Every structure is written in structure tokens, then in C-alpha cells.
Chain A
């Protein structure tokens, strides 16, 4: 193995630049490609969010620049309702599939898995390159839909048929929805390539001594996530193809007979709209854990390193990741309490849904116990890790309302739901990404990021998120429905104008704050001070490699693992951390935890 890879490594340097940086098979390059592409999409998705907030906060204001940018979407310098729906739909689609999933699994998964398990690359480097190179075509197809007849898909990111199936139901359902489905299908294939690769790599290529109880929690998070993706995404792929057939080939999987749309009798018969919802949410719920398990792992590692303490209850942490993943396949019905599904099923889904709060609570308290009696280093990565706990708790607790079907009758499809998932999934996952970026940036680029700018970025983002999403609870409690173009129509929403103005201003601040991050990132890539091999004094294997690691990651000899990843502040040890590669006899091992040698 070693010999062939070293030879391969030497050959790599002879490759032309486009084989090294564009069509590369090196997991680190692919990971960074995924991260940069996700960042580009995040800017786009964030910009769409600003358009939504412009309309909801300032419905009567005129935006001359926007009219100039989107001549088709604006009339009289104000956003048109059909374009608004396209913006809402594309914001959700882009952020969930094209930003968070790709950045976490594609970006951090690729970059970290071989480095943290002590491998030279992924098990299937070519498949890995294929996985990345399906992503730009998916983006092109998706963005092209803004320029076709009827505009981009506008049936929401959940694309409920018949709205998404019938061409005259909404303008976005003409060509845009077809492109949306094709784009998603391409991206799903990319995800499946990626997750197969991650699972195989973690199972097969762990270096000597890297047992499962010595895996960093990032790897546990990414491993279980890959399994979730492999089981859940094919279901959405099947659903997407069925919907594509309903739209183009005259099948009727999701469209029942006897419908009249736009004064025209619909020529479908025998389908059921609820079938789509079951298929969609069978993916859709595991998907939110695809977005939260990797951040949980990232945050755990960042927290242990900066608290100079082992993560508390490592085995419970791993167990709760697995429990959450298993339960996530059994809770999809909580998105459908009022969908027309049998109410008895609602009771069952309530039980499984609230059960998932138990492993989530375990994780939260374990993080708290990790911070107890810690000697904290307040690096930017750690600020985001601590912020993650706060966001996860705030968003998780509102999940208890939504998991109870009787309360859900009232709050379902209101901004209460929007507040909930923007805290627990969107913002928390974003904080995981930021924590990971500030933490592993030195390893990725061999330079340090600016900590001062990092702190400013953290504070503006943390305050911005609470200011933006917390008041959405009140809009939801007052009954404000999701995806509405204006709050001026209904009596019960009359008092909400000021809430929406406040939310919009906070959202603009939040969006602007991200420019600081982008500036810091690019400036540090070129101008940051050189990073040492192990700037944070961490224990895991990636810090044994050069910053940035060469092709093949490690020197001629792969590192050997002798202890679990969290030997921080071991009593009697000379330093407050012991890398995983230090043999057991060299220094005292952990008193507790996964170090087998210590018990013999």
C-alpha cells in the first residue's frame, strides 16, 4: 500500500496543473472544491433570503437596483408574487441541498476522513472526483431555471404535487420544476457516490490501531451521516423520477382524477398526493440529521481541543449519534400531522419524534459537562462551537411543540416552524461549518485566519441569528403562515408589520456580517501568518501531517494509533495533550475512556 501510494504521490507532481487542482483525485483538493462551491451557493442562497426579507419587511418600498437585476421578477420596482415564490423555493433548495449538505459531507467529509483515520486518500479517488464533478452541472441546471418560461420552480423546496406536477398550477411548474427535479437527481447521484466512498474508506482504510472506539467524533458523525444518505437519498431519487414521469410522460403517481386547474379538466387519474409526501419526508427527515450529525462531531472535537478536556461521555456521544440516526428514519410523519394522514399514525409519530429528544438532550448535557471545569481557549472556532450549543438547544426545544400533533395543528405551516428549523438545523449547521473552517483552515491552507476578524464575525453572526430568527416565533404564534407574499391581507396578521421590519433589518445585518468572513478567508489564504503543524495542540492524526498536507498526506510511514482522541489534561502527563500516535508506555494514558492499553 505505502509503496504504491508514494509512487503515486511522486507521479502526482508530474501531473499538469488542471489534473492537480481542477480534475483532481486528491481528497483534500476535492474537499476544498466542495467548500468553495458551497460558499458560492451560500452567497446566492443568502442573497435570495435578502429578497424574501425585503418583501416581508418593506412591501411598499421600491428597489430600483433589483428591477435592473431581475427585469422579469420585478414590476414597478417591486417583487412580483410568482417570482417571490420562486425565490422562496430556490432559497430552501439551495441552502439545504447545495450548501449545507455539500459543505458538510462533501467538504469536511472529503477533507477530514482520510486525514483523521490515517489514510492516504479515499478508497475510490476516481469516484470521488466524479462525485464533485456532478455538482457543478446540478448547479447549472438549477440556476438555468431562472431563465426559462415561467421562471424557476415555485412549489416550495418540498415540491408538493399536484402544485409541482401540473404545468398550469403555478408559473414555476412549467419548465422550472422539471429542471429542479433533474438538478436534484444529478446531485443525489453525487451524494450517493460520496457516501459509498466515505463508508468504504472508514471501514477499510483506518490506520493501524484506529479502532472504532478511537475514532474522532467528527468521523463518527460523518460515517453515520453517510449511512443515512445512502439509505434515504435513493427514496427521494425514486420520488423525483416518478414526479418527472407525472410531469412529462402522463403517468399519475401523485395526481388523482377529477381535478380542475385553471378551468381545465386535468387528464390524470388514480394518483395520491400523500404518496409524494411520504417519499419526500422519508428522505427529508433523515436529511436534517445529515445536516446536524457532522456539525455535532465537528463541535465535539473543537470543544474538546479548546476546553483541554476529553469530550464527556464519549461512548454516550457515539451511542446517541447512532440512536438519532436510527430514530430519524421513523419520524417522517411529524411533517404530516395535518396532511390528511390517519390520526392514529400521528400518535405513533409523536412518540418516535419526542423520543429523538432524549439522545439530543444527552448530547447537550455531555457538551455542558465537557465545559465544566475546563480551561477554555476562546479561539474563534470555540466561540462558534459554544454558540452551536445555544442554537441547537433553542431550536431543539421548539421541536417539542412541533412534535406534539395537537399543538402542531395550530403552529404547523406558520413561521414558528420557520424559526424552529432555522435555529436547530440551518444556523446550528452553519455554526458547525464555521467552527470547522476556523479550526481546520491552518491544515487546509497552511496559514492562520485572523482571530480578531473572526471574533467580530462570530459576534455579529450570533446576535444576527437570534435577532432574525427568535422574533419569527412570535410571528408564528400570532398565526403568520409560511410562504405568504404579504401580511397585509389577513386580520390576524395586521399587528405583525413591525415584527417583520425588525426581522428584515436583523437579517440584513446577518447577511452583511458574512462578508467579513469571506474577506478574512481570502485574505488569510494569501496573507495569513504561516501555520505550524499543530497550532491548536490537538491530538488527532491530521495534526501529524504537514500544514497543508502533501499528496498522500503522511510521510513514508503511516501514523500508528495508540490511544483515543481525547487524552487532554491527563494527570501526570508533561503536556495537557497527548497525540493519538504517542505509545501507551511513553506517558501515562487516560484514566477513563477508550484507551485499551491503559487498562492492561
Chain B
């Protein structure tokens, strides 16, 4: 039999070892390891727009910085816990100005850098659309998406809520407005590869969010507001729009379809669509 003081000490050492190893194995090894495994299967969808590349680059930079901090803090924590189980007496160590200033200023410098990088990307994403951008209106509703191209005149026709008829006039186009006669209203979004899109985003009923995972585009559609979203798809293919803001019972099925194609294919598709004039 060990004396009671000795059993206590052994128990403390065991507890320290367990917690220390727990932190190292589960948090550090498990955390970093699961990220590495996830990269193969559960990761960012493929990039299909120019802003996706920039946003992902910022994401990876932040991941590297936070990953280092994550490992550093947890390794220190595990180390101090391990040692804390073995000491006979704690040290009375209450203040150290240089140390405290160091870990105030180093994170500050890192954060200032991240702020600078972040604001550059944020500003670039919000640049106004160039004049030759493809103009399209996206209207969200419970639970789907409606797209409107302005037609040959390049202008959208007036619409009014009281004119909306789900079957014959889903947008609520005003027949009295000549600008609306050639508007094309469709249920599938067609875009041109490598041509900037200027989306005018609005909503018919509640708040939705226009989310295209592969483009790294997301913007809330707010009733009563028309919001500009500008992006450049750079890979032809078929993509999906998701709704990212809770909008009602059908939120989870509010899917939209996008086709990105060369200019010629887009032109012939557009020409085959009948104007929506009511």
C-alpha cells in the first residue's frame, strides 16, 4: 500500500497524462487529420467563377494561419497540463508585461494583414458591372427562381405585384409598358462562359438567398430591394442555385438550374425563347 499522499500524487499524474494525451490525440491529431481526410471527400465544390479563385485563396490563407494557432495553443495546453500534474508547488507568477504585450501585438499584426487581404477581395467582388456585362434579373419566390432577360431593347419592362398571375404572368409585367414586350422570362438561367454577369436580384415574398456554391456567390434577395450581384463564370457546364436563407417549408427544395455555355450557344438558346408579353 502506498501512503495516501503518494496515491493522490499518482492519481494526479494519471489525470494529467490522460487529459494531455486527450487534447493531443483528439483535438490536435484528430482535428488536423480529419481536415486532411475531408479534403478528399467533403470539401469546397469545384471553382467555376473568377471570384471563386480569389475567395478560395483567402480561405486557404486563413486556414493556414488559424491552423497554426490551433495546433500551437493546443500543444501548449497539453504540455502545461502534463507538467502541471508533476509539480510539487506552483510558481507565484502573476504578471509579465513584455509577455502580455507580445501576445497582444503579434495577433494584432496578423489580424491587420488578414483585414487588408480580406478588404481587397471584398472590394473586388463588389466592383460595378462593366457596360458589356450580361444583364439578367433574378426573382426569388417561395420556392423557386424566375429569370428575366431584357430582350433586344436592353431594358426591363415595368412590373406590378397586383398583375402577378402564376400561370400567365408570373413576373407581373405591365402590358402598357413597351419596354416589357420583348422581355424573356424563363425558369432556367443561361449564362455565357467568361462573360461578366450583372444580376439584379429581388424577391416576391420573403427573404431568400441566391447561392451558387461553385461560383462562391451568395447574396440575400430582400423583398422591397433590388440588389446588384456581379460575377464571371469561367467554366462551361451545368450548375445549381440553392436558397441559403430560411424562407419557409420548401426552403430545402428551392433549387435552380444554371447552364454556362459559349456565347453562340447562348445566343441561339435566347433566340428560341418566346417573349413573355402578356
Contact = CB atoms under 8 A, between A and B. Distances in A.
B146 interface: no
A350 to B, nearest CB: 6
Nearest to B38: A474
A258 B81 CA distance: 62
B95 A470 contact: no
B84 A409 contact: no
Contacts of B162: 265
A347 B122 contact: yes
B34 A477 contact: no
B247 interface: yes
Contacts of B236: none
Contacts of A570: 92
B266 to A, nearest CB: 22
A75 to B, nearest CB: 13
Interface string A232-265: 0000000000000000000000011111111101
Chain A interface size, under 10 / 10 to 19 / 20 to 34 / 35 or more:
35 or more
A272 B222 CA distance: 9
Contacts of A66: none
Given A374-B84, A386-B19, A592-B94, A369 B244 contact: no
A483 B208 CA distance: 13
B278 interface: no
Contacts of B213: 410, 479, 492
B161 A265 contact: yes
Q: Which of B100, B121, B204 has the most CB of A within 10 A?
A: B100
A313 B98 CA distance: 11
B243 interface: yes
Contacts of A374: 80, 84, 87, 90-91
Contact of A394 (B31, B161, B214, B240): B31
Chain B interface size, under 10 / 10 to 19 / 20 to 34 / 35 or more:
35 or more
A409 B74 contact: no
A484 B252 contact: yes
A347 B123 contact: yes
A196 interface: no
Contact of B95 (A273, A463, A593): A593
Contacts of A479: 44-45, 211, 213, 242
Nearest to A376: B84
Interface stretch (B106-114, B149-157, B189-197, B269-277): B106-114
Contacts of A325: none
A310 B35 CA distance: 37
A470 B223 contact: no
Contacts of B70: 393-394, 397
B42 A371 contact: no
A221 B114 CA distance: 29
Q: Which of B115, B222, B248, B250 has the most CB of A within 10 A?
A: B248
Contacts of B123: 343, 347
B161 A355 contact: no
A361 interface: yes
Nearest to B111: A354
Given A261-B205, A386-B77, A409 B218 contact: yes
Interface in B60-109: 62-63, 65-66, 69-70, 73-74, 76-77, 80-81, 83-85, 87-96, 99-100, 103-104, 107-108
B246 A401 contact: no
B103 A273 contact: no
13 contacts: A163-B247, A258-B161, A263-B166, A274-B225, A365-B100, A368-B80, A375-B90, A404-B62, A406-B55, A477-B44, A481-B211, A590-B92, A593-B94
Interface of A: 81-82, 85, 155-156, 160, 162-163, 166, 169-171, 255-263, 265-266, 271-274, 307-316, 338-340, 343, 346-347, 350-351, 354-355, 357-358, 361-362, 364-366, 368-369, 371-378, 383, 386, 389-390, 393-394, 397-398, 400-401, 404-407, 409-410, 412-414, 455, 459, 462-463, 466, 470-471, 473-475, 477-479, 481-486, 489-492, 495-496, 499, 566, 568-571, 576, 590-593
Q: What 5 A-B pairs have minimum CB-CB distances, sorted nearest first?
A: A256-B224, A376-B84, A378-B15, A592-B94, A406-B121
